[in-house]
Structure 1
Amino acid sequence: MSSPNPPSGTAAPASPTLDTAATTTHGGQLSRSLGVGGNVLITLSGISPASSVFILGGAALAGYGTGVFWGFALAGVISILIAFCYAELASRHPIAGGDYSLVSRVLGPASGAAVFFIGMVSLPLIIAIFALGVADYLGFALAGLDPLATALIVIVLATVTACFNIRTNAWVTGVFLFIELAALALLAVLGLVHIERPITDLFDSQALDAATGGLAPLGIAGLVLAVTQGIFSYNGYGGAVYFAEETKNAKRAIARAVLWSAVITVIAELVPLTAVLLGADSLEELFGAGLPVESFLASRAGDTVTVVVLIAIALAIINAIIAIALQSGRLLFAAARDQAMPAALARPLGRVSARTSMPVAATIVMGVIALAACFIPFDVLLNATGSTLAFSYGFIALAAFVVRRSPAAHGTYRMPLWPAPPVLALVAIITIFVIGILDPAQWLSLTIAFGIVAAGYLYFVLYLRHRPGVLHLIDASDDPDDLDGTPVAAGEGRGA
């Protein structure tokens, strides 16, 4: 696949004043060795389209029926809008640390602290959630696996793998990603070669009526919830930003990595789900099945193929854990390098391994937190992560709305139709919050998310605000390798 062109033009690069110390930390430096393709491989692995289709997509089919078609299509549009926001922000500030780094530099350290707390809680908990589900899929080949023991082993192996150099991780995740995309391709083919109904049947959103066993119209609230499920299913394309300092020509390339990751994810999930809806023998039986996607696969391909595919899903989940472990390590590393924590913690966590050019200490610490999270009740894990995504996207959309108050450097990606993408994304996120507030089942998740954000702001008020000059928000966009890879003579740069 050829490298994409951003949807809008970018200015021709010039020779800016550069800071060779921008990505150097305690004598170490992240290795700028990924191309756009390598970044996309790791990012897509963290999204795990296959497990999203089988787990989240299956749950959506059971709950929202044919509303999944419109719900996931609209979610795809919203996701692309948010991807535009990520692309412009990351092009201006191609820095390891993901949402935290972007928000800190655009909205300020108070909001940055809130987003840092979101990441510090959600990333390890997501790893734990994924790991605890691995045994359910590996169990088709290895009966009797204990979910907790399996999760602990998987997290240890994933954390160790995440400490290898970034190119090795790109190859490892790329192999796993190929397997899960092949599983999705098989699912799409099975649905499209045996089409049972025209696509126009999907335009009228209907879901299973538990009382009658037949189909009934899906209300607007149900459709909005289907959109929410789709947004969550597509989530992760912003993960490309975590590897900005390891991506060549990052000022231009990181926008492409974000946009390609978002577009591929939407296609890779929406097409097979639509194929399942078109190819199922009976929509009532599909929506009433305990595991709708697996049920469709078994009816079309047989039990043996189904077992093979489900093992592939287990590998996809493990792959996602590796990718998220990579991201979480860079979050903690970036905050430590910014000195957003006491020096006794920042010094070791901000180091880069001289051998692998990886933030090993930060990655291991996040892995240990994920191990501890495995002992938290599963429903608590789900509630603690359920609404944090909307907050993260809200901060990113707001940052993308205000970012143009400051001039952009040459070569910076500019999203098309600004400010429409961040405004529309904010409207969608506010709608999701309103629906959540009206649904008592979402109150616990929203309360926990509000609490995490409040804790971040409180951390700023009680600690960071009283340490003027300590927070050191370096900008890796000043790294000479960001633009054309041509080093700058010593002494030409600006002090960090």
Structure 2
Amino acid sequence: MSVPAPRSRPDRTAPDSSDLGGFGYRQQLRRNVGPFASFAAGFSFVSILTTVFQLFGLGFGFGGAGFFWTWPTVFAGQLLVALCFAELAARYPISGAVFQWSSRLAGTDVGWFTGWVMVVGQVLTVATAAIALQTVLPSIWSGFQLVGGAGADSAPTTATGAQNAVVLGLLLLVVTTAVNAIGVRLMAVITSAGVVVEIIGVVALVVALFSHAERSPGVVMTSTGAGEGNYLGLWLASSLMAAYVMVGFDSAGELSEETRAPRATTPRTILRALVLSGVGGALLLVGGVIAAPSLTDGSLASGGLAGVLTARLGDVGGRLLLACVAVAVVVCTLAVQTSGSRMVYSMARERAFPFASLFGRVSVRTGTPIGAAVLVGVGAAIALAVNWDQSAVFTALTSLCIALLYLAYLGVTLPLLVRRLRGELPSGTDEFGRPLFSLSRWGVPVNVLAVVYQTVMVVNLAWPRASVYDLAGGTWWLQWSALLFIAGTVLVGVVVHRRNRVRHGGPIVLGRLQVSAPAESDRVEEPA
């Protein structure tokens, strides 16, 4: 009796490669990223355990218990942006997503500046994620306080705490750069495993905090614990925490050329990463406020959630959960660096980035852009090193990187709105023959609200607050550092871009490789 051959899943690699060829690119990166790994890339970039633990004290110190309401406000705004990005991810499944989307919507000059700002923002985000280790490791074991010894003050806003954060961050960058150089498969395995640990950790933390509640959740309707001054201004400053947490969901799009069936997979993983992060983060914020021993003695602003955990669960229980946070920090840094390296690679292969031949090269052995990964790691290390004596390293780097990312996002959503109003958004089908993800008649109102929200948040994030950028006070250039840094980024970009245009005799031409068109049998409906 004959035994039927086992049924296997259809291989999407060849059609996916042909689809990429329709944009003018050869398949060089390896398609080793499945649906969960794609979700993990976005979720681990957002990394609510990393970012909420890192900046909970900052948010509460400004807005008190009422700072919770910045979370649903920012979530609603970012969901509008994510919906726009999901549409574009389905239509342009290409690495360097923000650069590619902006270039195809508004031309390569606008796209280049969008990509340039995004790269600088991602490098700073890698640095900011790496120093988050300081918020958890010294609380797990005092031996992790390498600067000043175990008895030194480990609070991130102190001199010893900030310097130790730089040391721990530099050590972490060595590890994440090595993983990124080894290959996307290892990165995907580590990221996926880390996300599982993070989700388990979030659930455990929420249960632990709510089971040790000292007060009703209704306390978030008050301003108890807020700083002194106009409350609206304090509340807007406290939104820095939520704004910092809920970015990076687009990193699933950065891995489009390494994702199987990206037109179908990526839009959904972008939205799932943000929605799950939004729900989990809201529960963490409420849990932290209701379980804190006190809202008025200053301990919550200085010690953050780590202090709440050790106070409520004791040393052993608190440290076990903080270990989950440490894993999340490592995975978050890895995901952000991966995303940044793909942006550099995407721009460099178009000869649109300095030293393009180095950073636009994919290793035949590992299938990864090693030069781009090293560049992002070194850039983040430099950002940390120059802040060695800066006690505002946490707040300053955080505000800078998020203001830049919001500007880059605006470089996508604004041109998208223009194209949408002209009726020029392409349609088509995904790898399985289903219509591409679309907002349909809701597209215009969602897009308009997304642009308005992003514009308001850029102004809010870059506002020259001494309490964010100059904790010691009296240094005007630190207070204005966000605007100065953004201006400097743009000016350097002008010089680099003009040199590129002169050197290559004109504007960037996307997909200049001119690969052969895909065969009809493998063809997926392409955008017009």
TM-score > 0.5, shorter chain as reference = yes
Structure 2 partner of 1:450: 487
- Code of the aligned partner of 2:311: S
In 1, Cα distance between equivalents of 2:189 and 2:239: 33
Q: Is residue 358 of structure 1 aligned with residue 368 of structure 2?
A: yes
Distance 1:160 1:106 in 2: 35
Cα–Cα, structure 1 residues 293 and 362, in superposed 2: closer, same or farther, change >3 Å? same
> How far did 1:480 drift?
9.2
Query: Match of 2:89, as an amino acid?
Result: A
Shift of residue 394, structure 1, vs aligned partner: 1.9
Give the 4+ runs in structure 1 shifted more than 6 A.
478-481
Q: 1:246 Cα shift?
A: 1.2
Equivalences for 1:456-495 in 2 at 5 Å? Answer: 456-461=493-498, 463-464=500-501, 467-468=504-505, 471-474=508-511, 487=522
2: CA distance between counterparts of 1:358 and 1:24?
Answer: 16
Identify which of 288, 297, 300 aligns with 1:276.
Answer: 288
Q: Which has the higher contact order (CA 8 A, sep 6+)?
A: 1
Which of 454, 457, 476 is residue 429 of structure 1 equivalent to?
Answer: 454
Change in Cα spacing, 1:133 to 1:43, as seen in structure 2 (3 Å) is same
How is 1:272-421 mapped onto 2 (pairs within 5 angstroms)?
272-285=284-297, 288-341=300-353, 345-377=355-387, 378=390, 379=393, 381-382=397-398, 384-404=400-420, 405=422, 406-411=424-429, 412-415=436-439, 417-421=442-446
Q: Distance in 2 between matches of 1:175 and 1:55?
A: 21
Q: Cα distance, 1:456 vs. partner? A: 2.7
Greater shift, 301-310 or 383-392, is seen at 383-392
**What letter corresponds to residue 21 of structure 2 in structure 1?**
T
CA distance, structure 2, for counterparts of residue 111 and residue 138 of structure 1:
42
Please give the residue correspondences for 1:248-287 in structure 2 after superposition, counting only pairs within 5 Å: 248-285=260-297
Q: Which moved more, 1:440-449 or 1:421-430?
A: 440-449
Shift of 1:120: 2.8
Could you tell which deviates more after superposition, 79-88 or 269-278? Answer: 269-278
1:486 & 1:219 partners in 2: Cα distance?
Answer: 62
Counterparts in 2 of 1:470 and 1:94: CA distance versus 1, 3 Å: same
Aligned residue pair count: 465
Deviation digits for residues 48-90 of structure 1 (CA, Å, limit 9, x no counterpart): 2101121122321222122222110111111111101111122
Tell me the distance in 1 between the aligned counterparts of 2:133 and 2:358.
Answer: 32
Whole-angstrom distance in 2 between the partners of 1:410 and 1:269: 35
Q: Deviations over 1:438-480 (max 9, x none)?
A: 654363212312332343345434542784566231299x999
Distance 1:419 1:273 in 2: 33
Render the CA deviation track for 1:256-277: whole Å, top value 9, x for unaligned.
Answer: 1111111111112111111222
Preserved contact between residue 67 and residue 205 of structure 1 (Cα < 8 Å): yes
8 Å contact kept, 1:338–1:474:
yes
Distance 1:196 1:485, change over 3 A: farther
Matches of 2:42 and 2:526, distance apart in 1: 32
Structure 2 unaligned runs (5+)? 1-14, 148-163, 430-435, 467-478
Q: What amino acid sits opposite 1:43 in the alignment?
A: G
2:128 paired with 1:104: no
Q: After superposing the two structures, state which structure 1 stretch, 224-233 or 318-327, moved more.
A: 224-233
SS of match in other structure, 1:179: helix
Aligned-partner Cα distance in 1 for 2:303–2:105: 43
AA partner of residue 277 (structure 2) = T
- Find 1:245's aligned residue among 257, 265, 280: 257
**Deviation of the 1:428 alpha carbon:** 1.9
Secondary structure at 1:34's aligned position in 2? coil
Q: What SS is found at the alignment partner of 2:449?
A: helix
- The more displaced of 116-125 and 281-290 is 281-290
**Residue 419 to residue 451, structure 1, CA distance change in 2 (3 Å):** farther
Contact preservation (8 Å) 2:109, 2:507: no
Q: Retained in 1: the 8 A contact 2:59–2:240?
A: no
What residue identity is the alignment partner of 1:58? G
Out of 171, 177, 180, the residue aligned to residue 189 of structure 2 is 171
Structure 1: unaligned runs, 5 residues or longer: 1-13
* Separation in 2, partners of 1:41, 1:136: 23
The share of aligned pairs that are identical, in percent, is 23
Q: Which residue of 2 aligns with 1:158?
A: 176
> Aligned letter for 1:432?
M
* 1:35–1:486 Cα change, 3 Å: farther
Match in the other structure for 2:80: 81
- Structure 2 residue aligned with 1:4: none
Is this contact kept in 1: 2:43–2:195, CA < 8 A?
A: yes
| Cα 1:31/1:348, change in 2 over 3 Å | same
> In 1, Cα distance between the equivalents of 2:292 and 2:317?
17
2-structure distance, mates of 1:408, 1:426: 20
Give the C-alpha shift of residue 29 in structure 1: 1.2
Q: Is the 2:227–2:234 Cα contact (8 Å) retained in structure 1?
A: no
Change (3 A) 1:479 1:371: farther
Aligned residues: CA RMSD: 3.4
- How far off is 1:226 after superposition? 3.3
